[in-house]
Amino acid sequence: MLTLYIGNKNYSSWSMRPWVLLKQAGIPFQETKVRFDSFEPGSAFKEALGRISPVGKVPVLVDGDLVVWDTLAIAEYLAETFPDKQLWPADAAARARARSVCAEMHAGFGALRHHCPMNIEAHLPEVGARLWREQPALQADVQRLVAMWQGLLAQHGGPLLFGRFSVADAFFAPVCSRIQTYALPVPDDIRAYIARVLALPGVAAWVADALAERDFLAFEEPYRSHRPA
């Protein structure tokens, strides 16, 4: 059986993508969580992951003797291994577009990543409002997301980016969570898309597990001094 190594579900946006993809597609797998303690060399996290993957990061997919790291590589491997799951769109042009937007998510949106780290259990509208006022690069990232999502939803007729669930929706699920956590302003149609993604069984299962962790990590939350009651 496949084994997926992940970090804390409340914080690990990278881990969330392949986990949601596997869960939503109904692909059996075992989960192994490696708790975040520090990302410094010699930390328990780095030592544990270093025994599995040469890069020492999550996520990591293990299939027998094969070790696959990086979210895009994992998604491609799953799509090739389970073609019946149709993880990419069937149409070649749509498939190319889906890969393009996933690669953009994979490599871009630096301001959103930096200023709004994933924190599923938190509700931080006041932090989001301040960041929105102070960080024009964050506004630009969200505006790009809105334009991208609106274009794809209009082209493919919804309810998800390429009509039915695909790798693209799994890749943007953590962004949907970020927008909700920080109450970033988006149009009603995009808010409705976010609600649909968060309601997907695979996403809802990840969120439920994240809420149950109750594992506050101060280094992941520089904007808060403690977990609220």
46: domain CATH number is: 3.40.30.10
83-111 pLDDT per residue, tens:
999 999 999 999 999 999 999 999 999 99
Average of per-residue pLDDT across 133-143 = 98
Domain end position, chosen among 70, 85, 100: 85
Decide which of 85, 100, 132 is a domain's last residue.
85
Structure tokens at 17: 């993508």
Q: Are residues 28 and 133 in the same domain?
A: no
Consecutive H or E run containing 79? helix 71-81
- What is this structure's pTM? 0.93
pLDDT at residue 226 is higher than 90: no
Is the domain of 101 the same as that of 181? yes
Same domain membership, residue 193 and residue 139: yes
Q: Could you give the number of structural domains in the chain? A: 2
Residue 191 is part of a domain; what is its CATH number?
1.20.1050.10
Question: Is the domain of 71 the same as that of 135?
Answer: no
Domain range enclosing 195: 92-209
| 200 and 98 belong to one structural domain | yes
Contacts with 124 (C-beta within 8 Å, 6 or more apart), sequence order: 181, 182, 183, 223
Length of the chain: 229
Please report the pLDDT score of residue 228 as a whole number.
47
| DSSP characters over 8-48 | -TTT-HHHHHHHHHHHHHT--EEEEE---S--STTSHHHHH
225 is a domain residue: no
